[in-house]
Amino acid sequence: MRTRSLPLLALASAGALLLAGCASGGDASDDGTPRAGGTLTYATGDAEPTCLDPHVGGNYPQALVSTQYLESLVSKDSEGEVVPWLADSWEESDDGLSWTFTLRDDVSFTDGTPFDAAAVAANVAHLQDPETLSSTGYLALQKVTGVEAVDARTARFDLSEPDSALLESLTQPWLAMESPEALERSQEVNCESPVGTGPFVVESWTKQDRVVLTRNDDYASPPADADHDGPAHLDEVVWRFIPDSAARYAALQAGQVDVIDNVQPDTLVAAEKDDSLDEIDAPRPGAANRIELNSGKAPFDDERVRQAFITGVDVNDGIDSLFFGTADRSYSALSSVEPLAYSDESLFDVDPDAAGELLDEAGWTERDSDGYRTKGGERLSLEFPVSTNQSIPAEQSLFEQIQAGAKQLGIEVVLSPLDLSSWYGALAENDYDLVSAPYTKVGPDVLRILYDTAGITPAPSGYFANLAQLSDPALDQLLTDAAQTSDPDERADLYQQAQQIVLESYTVLPLYDQQNHYLVRSSVTGVRALPPVSAVTLYDASRTD
């Protein structure tokens, strides 16, 4: 995570949409020091969750908001080390088939239910219940056969096989702990008001507008790397949903919101001299932003066509021009924040002539009246559904440049902008040839989720993560072996071999890290990106104005 100060921009034009109701402070302070109390308003540009319980589904918008009211067994610090949270300590058995967690004994959920080993068992059961419709949490716990409450403070996770990624998985907000009493409610009710142990409580949710969070005055369970103990400094957090990037930024400049996310590249550049704002640059772990090629059906079931597309279209100029230096080109399936990420730039050297020869070899030799290649009278056409909720405008423009570059090769790319629900529907129907699908998971085990053959089978939610539909027994074995070893050198070597197979399959076109930029008014201190998945936490935040 990188933080830097940014200068005062002229306010957006009078026609820009501003928000009703300014952010408010607590007790007066004239010296600029943090003080207790007040309201902080956060404006998100991510899609509004359909459910505030991250066990259901499991996407990044849920992680962002739920980080304020749910907590995990363990966390990560800024050095990448797993640190205590709701669990004080943990131990792996010699055979790797169980992990035993010793829990804090001074924590309760905000509905008064004690946090204990039975609660941990209930949460894992909830995540693994097909009726929960979990995807991210469900996939992370595939090797867990159950959790036994040995006693009130001791929870033992039993596994079908060793899982070197279990601790990393448990740091994620999609596996956070919820009140077992609250989980007994209907899913509809629990989606409206999940109950956790966190520093804030869900007070209300006005859909398409805001979630109001109020301070948990009994809070006493911050992660080991927090800046203070006890309840949060703020009285209240107002979590606004403002999809328009210009409106979000105008509201920030006007002081009507205090923090915004999904900051656009041109805004970041424009804000570089604004000392009233701070930027938090916190790329997400797991997979890099990438385009995946569906190798499970024609035309990308032919490796020559995949290689031609990936090496025939130049994406570097588009990244440079559209992201203004705020994103670096990736040549890895993994985010650069993952220590075991492996890159091979040579696989992505652009050579349109060689790409054309590959397409000729694959039989796409004729051209129709529009200049597109054909074979047997069928046009070489690719369906590319685009989630407008997940791809920022600069990325959508990049896809348009890729579309234009592909046309020069004689390949038609049909871009279909879709809302999040329709986008998921297109994937479920296998109605895609190209897709950009961000996936955040702590650690290199994300490779198993994304590229193991088993990942072609949908989770109970209907989502399947292996969108490249890559099926390679050698890769599957490497990922299995990597997950079963605790030797760091052996693990690193196995994951490098696995990444080489993924990149050399030409099913993945890496672009850049998953962008995660926050802008914070300098009158607010203590906002930070929690290391596991770089979701912002407002526990330490306070106002100075």
The reply to whether 221 falls in a domain is yes
pLDDT over threshold 50, residue 357: yes
The reply to whether 57 falls in a domain is no
Are 158 and 249 members of one domain? no
**210-215 and 412-418 strand pairing:** unpaired
Helix (H, G, I), strand (E, B) or coil at 195: coil
Task: Please compute the mean of the pLDDT values over residues 377-397 and round it to a whole number.
Answer: 94
**pLDDT tens for residues 224-272?**
999 999 999 999 999 999 999 999 999 999 999 999 999 999 999 988 8
Domain count, the chain: 3
**366-367 and 373-375 strand pairing:** antiparallel
CATH number at residue 302: 3.10.105.10
**pLDDT tens for residues 154-183?**
999 999 999 999 999 999 999 999 999 999
The reply to whether 377 falls in a domain is yes
Are 441 and 535 members of one domain? no
Are 219 and 362 members of one domain? no
Are 385 and 345 members of one domain? yes
The reply to whether 139 falls in a domain is yes
Are 527 and 453 members of one domain? no
Helix (H, G, I), strand (E, B) or coil at 12: coil
**Confidence class for position 435, pLDDT limits 50, 70, 90:** very high
Question: Alpha carbon 46 to chain centroid distance?
Answer: 11
In this structure, the number of other CB atoms found within 10 A of the CB of residue 52 comes to: 22
The reply to whether 194 falls in a domain is no
Are 421 and 539 members of one domain? no
CATH number at residue 88: 3.90.76.10
C-alpha to C-alpha distance for 375 and 403, rounded to whole angstroms:
20
Are 314 and 460 members of one domain? yes
Q: Please say whether the dihedral angle defined by the alpha carbons of residues 228, 84, 72 and 147, taken in this order, is positive or negative.
A: negative
Q: In which element (H, E) is residue 89 found?
A: strand 87-92
Question: Alpha carbon 92 to chain centroid distance?
Answer: 28
pLDDT over threshold 50, residue 306: yes
pLDDT over threshold 50, residue 281: yes
Are 251 and 301 members of one domain? no
C-alpha to C-alpha distance for 311 and 307, rounded to whole angstroms:
6
**pLDDT tens for residues 365-381?**
999 999 999 999 999 99
If you compute the radius of gyration of the chain from its CA atoms, what whole number of angstroms results?
24
The reply to whether 193 falls in a domain is no
- Nearest Cα neighbor of 200 from 236, 167, 227, 254 is 236
- 438 or 467, greater pLDDT: 467
Instruction: Check residue 243 and report its DSSP letter.
Output: -
Q: What pLDDT does 28 receive?
A: 40
Are 87 and 166 members of one domain? yes
Give the end of a domain, one of 167, 182, 197. 182
The reply to whether 321 falls in a domain is yes
CATH number at residue 262: 3.40.190.10
Are 503 and 521 members of one domain? no
Phi first, then psi: give them for residue 65, nearest 5 degrees: -80, -35
Average pLDDT, the chain: 93
C-alpha to C-alpha distance for 397 and 324, rounded to whole angstroms:
13
Is the distance from CB of 436 to CB of 399 less than 8 angstroms? yes
- 274 or 376, greater pLDDT: 376
Are 10 and 88 members of one domain? no
C-alpha to C-alpha distance for 373 and 366, rounded to whole angstroms:
5
Q: What is the pTM of this model?
A: 0.88
**Confidence class for position 36, pLDDT limits 50, 70, 90:** confident
Domain limits at 320? Answer: 289-512
In sequence order, the 6+-apart residues with CB closer than 8 A to the CB of 301 are 295
The reply to whether 390 falls in a domain is yes
Helix (H, G, I), strand (E, B) or coil at 444: coil
Instruction: Check residue 289 and report its DSSP letter.
Output: E
**Confidence class for position 337, pLDDT limits 50, 70, 90:** very high
pLDDT over threshold 90, residue 273: no
Are 378 and 466 members of one domain? yes
pLDDT over threshold 90, residue 287: yes
Q: What pLDDT does 14 receive?
A: 31
Q: What pLDDT does 63 receive?
A: 97
Give the end of a domain, one of 132, 164, 182. 182
- Nearest Cα neighbor of 294 from 139, 467, 64, 150 is 467
Q: Could you report how far apart the first and last alpha carbons of the chain are, in Å?
A: 26
Task: Please compute the mean of the pLDDT values over residues 130-138 and round it to a whole number.
Answer: 96
